[in-house]
Structures are given as C-alpha cells and as structure tokens.
Amino acid sequence: MIRGSSYRLFTRLVLSLFVSFLTVDVNAVSADESVQAAVKVLVAYHSQSGNTERMAEAVVEGAKSLPGTTVVLKRVGQVTADDLFSSDAIIVGSPVYWSNMSGEVKTFFDNWQFKFGVFPDFKMKNKIGAAFATGGQISSGKEVTMLTILAAMLGNQMIVVSGGGAFGASATTEGDSPGIDKRELADAQALGRRVAEVAAMLRPTPSN
C-alpha cells in the first residue's frame, strides 16, 4: 500500500516535471519567434557633404543587427508612400542648418500631408519614430534638430524613442572635431538597434 502510493507520487512528480519542461520549451520558442519578428525599419536622411549619410549607414547596421529586421535606406526625397506606410518604424536624420533641421527634411515632413495624405486619418499613428543629426559645432543645434524631428513625429501620433544619446544619435563634424568618430558611430548603431527592438516589441500580432 505504502509502496503503491509512493509509486503514484513518483509518477506524478515525473509527469509534472515533464509538463513543466514542455511549457518552458514552448515559451522559449515563442520568445525566440518574437525576437525574430520581421519588423521593417525605414531610415530616411538628407546629406549634402556625406556626414549624415555616414551616420545613416551606422543606424542601418544597428537596426540590421536584430535578426529578422528589414531595413530600407533612402534619401528623404526618394521616400514613397509605400515606404512610409509599410514600415513599422522610421528613423530620420538631418544635418543642422541654422540650428534646426534642413529645409529638405522639413519638406519631407510637409510632404507627409501634401504628397502622402497622412492627415486626417493619422496614417503614421503608433509607428515608432527616432532621430539623428550631424552638426558642424559642438553646441549649435543638434539637439534642437533632433527634437524638431521628434516633434513632427509626435504631431503624427507616432511613438518616439531615443537611443545613442538622450534625444537620438548625433555627431560633430567641423571645427576642432576630427569628424565623425567611433563613439558617434556606435551611438548611431545603438539607435538603430533600439528602434528595431522597440518596433519588434510593439509590432501588432498578426490576427489568425
């Protein structure tokens, strides 16, 4: 009798261990799948002399470092409606012009309405947004430039995130600066990676 109940207890223990093993395994698979989620990130930039383009390429590297992420890199003037609306996240980069985003980047945002008709339906709503900038001087408008990019995104009810620096990634390119350095490129990569991660976390689950 004692032997019988011990045997049943042992069987239950083995069974429950087996079930918990299966549960852990299933969770591990789904966590893996969510990391592999195919998010699409659009990196759009303006660059006249190549600095912002270099940062854009580092942002792309960072985003691509998250497995399963698709990244489209385009100059702001080349972005199509499909690029915009099919992306889960958009990261916009600008050189600092007179302590603000360049005219090309401002026109890009204006075209969300004039060319792409984002309003009144808020077609960019709940997509992830982020910014990066390059400026000639240490303190002459990089943060304002990133904040005005983020402001345009907030006006479109996007979810803005930072990375690299407090408001995004930035680099100083003129004066005493030797040009974009490794740390600034690493910040740009960190921004791209973080945007891809947040987009993967918030991506709507496809309905069955």
Residues at the interface with ligand FMN (CB under 6 A): 47-53, 95-99, 134-137, 140-141, 173-174
Smallest separation (angstroms) from ligand FMN to the CB of 132: 11
Smallest separation (angstroms) from ligand FMN to the CB of 23: 51
Smallest separation (angstroms) from ligand FMN to the CB of 171: 7
- The residue (of 39 and 43) whose beta carbon lies closer to ligand FMN is 43
- The residue (of 134 and 148) whose beta carbon lies closer to ligand FMN is 134
The residues, ordered by sequence, that sit 6+ positions from 66 with a Cβ below 8 Å of its Cβ are 35, 39, 193, 196, 197, 200
User: How many CB atoms are closer than 10 A to CB 161?
Assistant: 21
The residues, ordered by sequence, that sit 6+ positions from 206 with a Cβ below 8 Å of its Cβ are none
**Distances from the Cα of 139 to the Cα of 47, 94, 163, angstroms:** 19, 16, 19
- The residue (of 96 and 195) whose beta carbon lies closer to ligand FMN is 96
Element (H, E) at 99: none
Smallest separation (angstroms) from ligand FMN to the CB of 119: 29
**Distances from the Cα of 34 to the Cα of 21, 91, 108, 123, 133, angstroms:** 20, 21, 32, 25, 30
- The residue (of 69 and 102) whose beta carbon lies closer to ligand FMN is 102
Report the C-alpha gap between 151 and 186 in whole angstroms: 25
- The residue (of 88 and 168) whose beta carbon lies closer to ligand FMN is 168
Report the C-alpha gap between 36 and 143 in whole angstroms: 33
Smallest separation (angstroms) from ligand FMN to the CB of 137: 4
